[in-house]
């Protein structure tokens, strides 16, 4: 298997836009130091592979539901970053929060013998 990855031009545009909003907030709080050099995608030291399994309610336009349960495969849960179709910053905390929510849902469904 060969996996390749590259940023889409929109990723850079989103990062620059959000960075500008963050700088506005930091300036309003009179921050002592503000770093703004992380919008050069070539400088990013790592990649988060995201967006291959869109989350949504409609099986025609998404792969998993809001609890990361696959629409097409019963009792398959894809609890990772693949449901995030776009990200402009470190997604780890979002992935963790969604994983906790999915785990609570799975446990609740298991107690009801629904899975």
Residues carrying an active site annotation:
48
pTM for this prediction: 0.59
Contact 39, 16 (CB under 8 A): yes
Per-residue model confidence (pLDDT) at position 28: 97
Residue (of 85, 20, 18) closest to 49 by Cα position: 85
User: pLDDT tens digits for the chain (115 residues)?
Assistant: 777 777 778 877 888 898 899 999 999 999 999 988 766 666 665 567 788 899 999 999 999 999 999 999 988 999 998 998 877 678 888 899 999 999 999 999 999 998 8
- Taking the domains of the chain in order of start, what are their residue ranges? 8-45, 46-115
- Using DSSP's 3-state secondary structure scheme, residue 77 falls into strand
């Amino acid at each position: 298997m060969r996996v390749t990855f590259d940023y889409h031009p929109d990723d850079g545009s989103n990062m620059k836009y959000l960075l500008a909003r963050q700088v506005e907030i930091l300036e309003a709080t009179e921050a002592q130091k503000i770093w703004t050099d992380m919008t050069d995608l070539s400088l990013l030291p790592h990649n988060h592979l995201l967006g291959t399994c869109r989350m949504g309610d409609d099986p025609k336009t998404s792969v998993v539901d809001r609890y990361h349960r696959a629409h097409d495969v019963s009792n398959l849960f894809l609890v990772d970053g693949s449901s995030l179709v776009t990200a402009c910053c470190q997604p780890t905390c979002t992935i963790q929060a969604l994983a906790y929510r999915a785990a609570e849902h799975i446990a609740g469904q298991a107690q009801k013998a629904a899975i």
